Amino acid sequence: MIRSQTDIPLERDAASRMLPWIIAIMVYLAALAIAGTLTLSQVIRSWSVAGTGTLTVQVPFGDSAAKTEALAERAASVLRETPGISRVRVLSRQDVAGLVKPWLGPAEQTAGLPLPALIDASVVGGASIDLAALSRRLAGIAPGATVEDHKKWLDKLVGFARSIWLVTLLVVAMILLAAVVTVIFTTRTGLRIHYRVIEVLHLIGAHDRYISRQFERQAVMLSLKGALVGVLLAVLTVVALAHLAAQVDLIRAPRLVFSVWQWGLFVLVPIVAGLVALYTARLTVLRTLGRLT
Amino acid sequence: MMDEDDPIVRFDNVGMRYGTGPEVLRDINMALEPGSFYFLTGESGAGKTSLLRLMYLANRPSRGLVHVFGRDVSTLGRDEVPVLRRHMGVIFQDFRLLDHLSTLDNVALPLRVAGAKGPKVRQHVAELLRWVGLGDHINAKPTTLSGGEQQRIAIARAVINQPNLLLADEPTGNVDDNIGMRLLFLFEELNRMGTTVVVATHNERLVSRFPYPRLVLEDGQVTKQKG
Ligand SMILES: Nc1ncnc2c1ncn2[C@@H]1O[C@H](COP(=O)(O)OP(=O)(O)OP(=O)(O)O)[C@@H](O)[C@H]1O
Ligand SMILES: [Mg+2]
């Protein structure tokens, strides 16, 4: 059109110049909170997939490796007779050595150590097993044997993950609130600074909506700018962290960390920031002007 | 909006004060017929600007009734005021131009505020600016222009949408009589096409060259005099 400028010179306001930076910081924090929680629930999910419906029995080392193995076999036969349990497998000494390798070193070094024996068992879907009674029976055969019920532990883990999500939602909501307050403040400051210009616009027949549109456009532009910077920094941070994590074998390669829709959340953040800015600016202008007469 | 021969502006026992100050206007009764042309005179501080402010709805009367375009202004909703103002053109005594906008954008503002856009607006505005002698300053910012030039921007902005009511507050205060005459001819032109015109001015020489009636403000009261 015939001009690039707005009727109200908002772009020169000090508050307007601060807005993108404040929004960038807020968006960065929100995106990181979401990314951290996504990663955590991802990890928890992978544990729960591996662990649902299984039971592990640990038989402590008894005098010699051979005796430990014999005790484990007797405990396994008890398990096989227990209704609701299928597929019982005594882990070989190599398997156990493999499990402790990250902590105790390669098999050659652990050969002489008093490692316990482990028994894996699957629980038939839907079956409920009296774990206390089972523990007592196993302890009678192999003193010190313990039963680990993954499900119980996983239930707790899932509950934990859920509370982490709640906290994250709370954090994001608070950041959103802070963003709204910032936009309100910026808009009110603009209304005050440009009081004369707004008065002239009114006098030549502008509706309040015409004036609010100028503030909306400005708030959306600045917020989008800030949000894009914030999201970009957050993505870079996540990728860098994932790289570091991959180096110490904590999680898989960075591009596998999130699924497509989870990356989509990051795209959503600037859109939400823009929409929040739009409606906050509009309502602030309309309410403030509406109070004048 | 109103009947053919309803007055454009009507005052019934109008009084006006600023805040808790004294009444600057009192007991004003008058009616401006559609298509009329009035000079509004009175010495400095007599209340000319105040009277115009009542007409362009910047102030409400502290007593009495003001009707503009047939509407009782005390019953107007916030959304209705801009609609009425789009049928008015106001030349403010202090111009009230937007300094960050070019001459062209300042004059185009009433059109844009009313929703018009496109190359036609630009063409129309440029034409009017040439007419008021600002053809060479289309892209200048008002602060870089002389007082008289700024005044002509204000005038162009007031007449750009061919208002039904033109309210001019000292529109010739900063220009010599030649340009002053030229501007009044512009108002006459608009008046011939149906615009009701009220020109507040001190300039006796200019007033005496036109045959129009006067509204004379004295002691806060208005008397009509034949031109
Ligand atoms: N905003 C205001 N607040 C308080 N008093 C005001 C205000 N504006 C004008 N007045 C007072 O109202 C009276 C009329 O002022 P007004 O501006 O209407 O006069 P005027 O005829 O336009 O004068 P001039 O020819 O100097 O422009 C003056 O006594 C002035 O002091
Ligand atoms: Mg005045």
User: Does B109 reach chain A within 8 Å, measured CB to CB?
Assistant: yes
Ligand 1 nearest-atom number relative to CA B51:
18
pLDDT digits (tens, 9 = 90+) for A91-106: 877 777 777 777 777 7
Q: Note the pLDDT of residue B64.
A: 97
Identify whether B205 is part of a domain. Answer: no
The ligand placed nearest to the CA atom of residue B51 is 1
**B82 contacts in chain A (CB < 8 Å):** 202, 205-207
Among B100, B122, B157, beta carbon nearest to A2: B122
Instruction: Return the minimum-mean-pLDDT range out of A86-90, A242-246, A275-279, B52-56.
Output: A242-246
At A264, the pLDDT band (50, 70, 90 cuts) reads confident
Cβ of B101: how many Cβ atoms within 10 Å?
21
User: Does B120 reach chain A within 8 Å, measured CB to CB?
Assistant: no
Give the C-alpha separation, B159 to A127, whole Å: 88
For the cut 80, the answer to whether the pLDDT of residue A254 exceeds it is no
Q: Note the pLDDT of residue A245.
A: 77
At A147, the pLDDT band (50, 70, 90 cuts) reads confident
Tell me how far CA of residue A185 lies from CA of A19, A199, A290, B93, B223, in angstroms. Answer: 10, 20, 17, 34, 50
For the cut 90, the answer to whether the pLDDT of residue A123 exceeds it is no
User: Does B117 reach chain A within 8 Å, measured CB to CB?
Assistant: yes
Q: Using CA positions, which residue lies closest to atom 24 of ligand 1?
A: B44
Identify whether B73 is part of a domain. Answer: no
Which of B16, B26, B44, B50 to mutate for ligand 1's pocket (most ligand atoms within 8 Å of CB)? Answer: B50
**Measured CA angle at A60 (ends A58, A63), to 5 deg:** 150
User: Does B101 reach chain A within 8 Å, measured CB to CB?
Assistant: yes
For the cut 60, the answer to whether the pLDDT of residue A253 exceeds it is no
**A208 contacts in chain B (CB < 8 Å):** 78-79
Count of A-B CB contacts under 8 Å: 58
For the cut 50, the answer to whether the pLDDT of residue A168 exceeds it is yes
Mean predicted confidence (pLDDT) in A54-63? 81
Identify whether B113 is part of a domain. Answer: yes
Among A5, A199, A205, beta carbon nearest to B86: A205
Task: Give the percent of chain A with pLDDT over 70.
Answer: 89
Q: Using CA positions, which residue lies closest to atom 2 of ligand 1?
A: B18
For the cut 70, the answer to whether the pLDDT of residue A48 exceeds it is no
For the cut 60, the answer to whether the pLDDT of residue A51 exceeds it is no
Sequential pLDDT tens for chain B (227 residues): 556 678 999 999 999 999 999 999 999 999 999 999 999 999 999 999 999 999 999 999 999 999 999 999 999 999 999 999 999 999 999 999 999 999 999 999 999 999 888 888 899 999 999 988 899 999 999 999 998 899 999 999 999 999 999 999 999 887 888 888 888 998 999 999 999 999 999 888 889 999 999 999 999 999 999 87
Give the nearest chain B residue to A2 (CA atoms): B122
Identify whether B72 is part of a domain. Answer: no
Q: Note the pLDDT of residue A1.
A: 37
**B58 contacts in chain A (CB < 8 Å):** 203
Contact A55, A130 (CB under 8 A): no
Tell me how far CA of residue B68 lies from CA of B58, B111, B148, B185, in angstroms. Answer: 12, 21, 30, 25
Alpha helices, DSSP H only, in A194-259? 195-203, 208-247
Contacts of B90 (CB under 8 A, 6+ apart): A203, A204, B52, B56, B158, B166, B167, B168, B169
Q: Note the pLDDT of residue B139.
A: 95
At A57, the pLDDT band (50, 70, 90 cuts) reads confident
User: Does B96 reach chain A within 8 Å, measured CB to CB?
Assistant: yes
Q: Which residues pair with B197 in a beta bridge?
A: B37, B166
Contact B114 A207 (CB under 8 A): no
Which of B24, B52, B90 to mutate for ligand 1's pocket (most ligand atoms within 8 Å of CB)? Answer: B24
Domain boundaries, chain A: 10-49+155-292, 61-144
Q: Note the pLDDT of residue A137.
A: 85
Contact A55, A123 (CB under 8 A): yes
pLDDT digits (tens, 9 = 90+) for A203-222: 999 999 999 999 999 999 99
At A80, the pLDDT band (50, 70, 90 cuts) reads confident
Q: How many separate domains does chain B show?
A: 1
Contact A203 B121 (CB under 8 A): no
Give the nearest chain B residue to A6 (CA atoms): B101
Which of B23, B44, B49, B204 to mutate for ligand 1's pocket (most ligand atoms within 8 Å of CB)? Answer: B49
Q: Note the pLDDT of residue A127.
A: 64
Give the nearest chain B residue to A211 (CA atoms): B113
Q: Note the pLDDT of residue A3.
A: 44
Q: How far is B124 from chain A (nearest CA, A)?
A: 12
- B151 CA to middle of ligand 2, Å? 15
Q: How far is A205 from chain B (nearest CA, A)?
A: 4
- Which domain range does residue B125 map to? 91-162
